[in-house]
Amino acid sequence: MLAYSLRRVLATIPVMAVVGLLVFSLLYLAPGDPAAVIAGDQASPADIEHIRIALGLDRPFLIRFGGTVRGLKPGAPVEVRGIRIGEVTSVGVDYAPDSNGFVAPVAIVLQPSLFPAAGVHPRTAAEVYDAADVLVQRGLRAQVSDTQLLGGDAIVTLDIQPDAAPATLDRSGKVPELPAGPTQRERIAQQLQPLIAKLANAPIDQVFAELQDSMAALKQLVTGPELRGALEELRGASTDLRNVVNRLGTSSDALIINLNEPPSLLRNDLRGTTNNWIKVKLEGAKSNRSGIGARVLVHYGNKTQAQAVLSQSSFFSCNDPRLHFGLGPCTTADIDVYWPSGLHEAFKGISANRLVTLKEGVGPVASRGWSKA
C-alpha cells in the first residue's frame, strides 16, 4: 500500500521539475564543470562547449567589427592573453546606415568561471554583464587577431587598451554588445600614418632639385683641373717613394707572427753582396684570382727551385703570396708556371732583382702595388 502511494506521488511531479532539479544539482552541487560532468570523460572540448551553450552556462555577447574579420569562423576561440574563455558562435555582415558602410556582427559566448573580472568570478548573467561593464569602462576592447603575424586562423581576443575612447557595455539590445577595438592590421596602419603624413608633406621636388645640384657639383669636381692636378701630384709622390725604396737596397726582411707571443722580425743586414733574387706574383684568369695551388719552377745557372702558392702555412697563419727565389750570382732566370687549370706556361730570360707579375694566359703584366721586396 505504501509503495503504491509513493508511485502516485512521484507520478504527479512534473517532468520539467525533475529536469530542473537535476540541472540545479549539477550547477551548484556537483564539483567541476557541469558540462564536463554531463558529457563524460570521452567528450571533446567542442562537445563540452556545445553542452554549456545548451544549458545556458555561457553568457552571450555581440561585437560589431568595422574592419575585416577575414578568417574568423564559428567555433574560433575567444582568448585573453592566450587563454581560451569562450568561442565564436556566428559571424555575419550588416549594413550600418549611420556610417553608410558595412559592419561584421560577431556573436560570442564567454564562460563565467573564466571571465577575468575585477573581483570574484561572476556566476549569474547579471553578475557577468556588470563585471564586463566595469572592464569596458577601463578600456576592455575586442579585436580580431591572427594566430600568426601574417596569415593563419583568426580568433577574437579581449584586451585592455588604455588609450581607447570612453565606452560602456551596450545593453539596449537582446544581447549585450562589447565595443570593438582596431584589428592588428588597423593598428599597424595607425602607427604608420604619421610617417605617411610626413612623407606626403615632404618637399619632394626640392629634395630632387638639391640632389641634382649636388650631382652636378660632384661631376664638376671630378672633371675639374683641381682633381687632375692632385692626381698628378700623387703619381709623382709614388714615383719618389719607389726611388727611395730602390736606394734602400734589395735585402728582404722576414716578419714571423708567433702564436700567443710577440711577433719576430728577422732583419737582413747583409750589405755589399753581389747575389741576386726574383719574386713572382701570380694572377689567375681561368684559375682562381690569387693563383692558389699553382707551382712555380725557377731555373738559373744549373739549378732549379720550386715553390707553390698556398692559402695558408700553419695554424691561423699564412705566408706572403709572392714567391721569393734567391738566384746567387745569376742575373736572369727562366720561369715555368703550372696553373691549377692545367695550363703550363714558360717564360725565358726574366731579369733579376725585381717583382714580376705573371697573369694566366697573358704573361708578364705591370705590378700593381707590392712594387719591391
Could you tell me the mean pLDDT of each successive run of 10 residues in the chain, 373 residues long? 49 50 46 53 60 66 88 90 90 88 91 79 81 90 74 83 87 90 69 73 76 81 72 68 53 73 80 82 90 93 92 73 90 94 93 91 78 48
pLDDT for the residue 241: 57
According to the model, what pLDDT value does residue 298 have?
95
* CB distance 296 to 309 below 8 Å: yes
What is the structure's pLDDT at 30? 45
The pLDDT of residue 310 is: 87
Cβ density class 281-294: b for 16+ within 10 Å, e for less: bbbbeebbeebbbb
The span from the CA of 326 to the CA of 333, in Å, is 10
Q: What is the pLDDT of residue 34?
A: 55
Q: What is the pLDDT of residue 183?
A: 63
The CATH 2.60.40.10 domain(s) of the chain lie at: 275-365
Report pLDDT for 299. Answer: 95
Instruction: Measure the CA–CA gap between 30 and 24, rounded to whole angstroms.
Output: 9
Return the number of other C-beta atoms located less than 10 Å from residue 125's C-beta.
13
Q: What pLDDT score does 203 carry?
A: 75
pLDDT at position 240 is 60
Which grid cell is 256?
Answer: 714571423
For the domain bounded by 275-365, which CATH number is listed?
Answer: 2.60.40.10
